[in-house]
Chain A
Amino acid sequence: NAGVTQTPKFRVLKTGQSMTLLCAQDMNHEYMYWYRQDPGMGLRLIHYSVGEGTTAKGEVPDGYNVSRLKKQNFLLGLESAAPSQTSVYFCASIPGGLQETQYFGPGTRLLVL
């Protein structure tokens, strides 16, 4: 198993550009989460999904959209990037049932100029 992977690892955007971050897991996990972590800060929940075809808002959803069309993929979109969205983005997944540990991807570093 590759575990949880994130694409890309690093990206530089100009203000107003759009992009999509991909989170993929090959462990048949039910739940998936997107967090952002600003320097020296904690993780803040952006959006999450409790199963294929479902999404829900987290703490800081504004400026982001998500989709979970396939169980193994959770996409995070930025329609019009702003400098305030400069951050490290972590994806996590949970198997479901009695297994509740979050498995994190390596992170995507995003710089918006």
Chain B
Amino acid sequence: GENVEQHPSTLSVQEGDSAVIKCTYSDSASNYFPWYKQELGKRPQLIIDIRSNVGEKKDQRIAVTLNKTAKHFSLHITETQPEDSAVYFCAPRNRDDKIIFGKGTRLHILP
């Protein structure tokens, strides 16, 4: 079956430093790779996504990189700020439109 793994499960970084979260998937036919941010008590919200025909996408302090050969994609957050503290999920879309979420990464921004 489909397998989506996300690492690390918890990440603490000093304010202003960078954070990187990696997502590994098993379906080689997956073609859409989003990252969601979930704050406590709220619904997940899309922060950035990438499609299989692109290797990297950037939106201000946030970037996503994709390695289709190795079947993984990563979320990069630079110049981290207190409001970046949240849980982040990857959710690649597979060939059957089934969307499995990674188990999440709890990001703590330390003052």
A residues near B (Cβ < 8 Å) are 31, 33, 35, 41-45, 48, 50, 56, 58-59, 90, 100-102, 104-107
Contact = CB atoms under 8 A, between A and B. Distances in A.
Contacts, number: 50
A104 B100 contact: no
B103 A42 contact: yes
Given A44-B101, A59-B100, A102-B34, 19 more contacts: A42-B101, A42-B103, A42-B104, A43-B44, A45-B100, A45-B101, A50-B97, A56-B98, A58-B100, A90-B44, A100-B32, A100-B34, A100-B93, A101-B46, A102-B36, A102-B44, A102-B91, A102-B99, A104-B44
Interface residues of B, number: 21
B15 to A, nearest CB: 24
B100 A48 contact: no
Contact of A45 (B43, B99, B104): B99
A56 B96 contact: yes
Contacts of B104: 41-42
Contacts of A101: 34, 46, 49
A87 to B, nearest CB: 14
Nearest to B36: A102
Given A100-B49, A104-B43, A42 B99 contact: no
Given A101-B34, A102-B34, A104-B43, A42 B102 contact: yes
Interface of B: 32, 34, 36, 43-46, 49, 51, 89, 91, 93, 96-104
Contacts of B99: 33, 45, 48, 102
Contacts of B97: 31, 48, 50
A106 B89 CA distance: 17
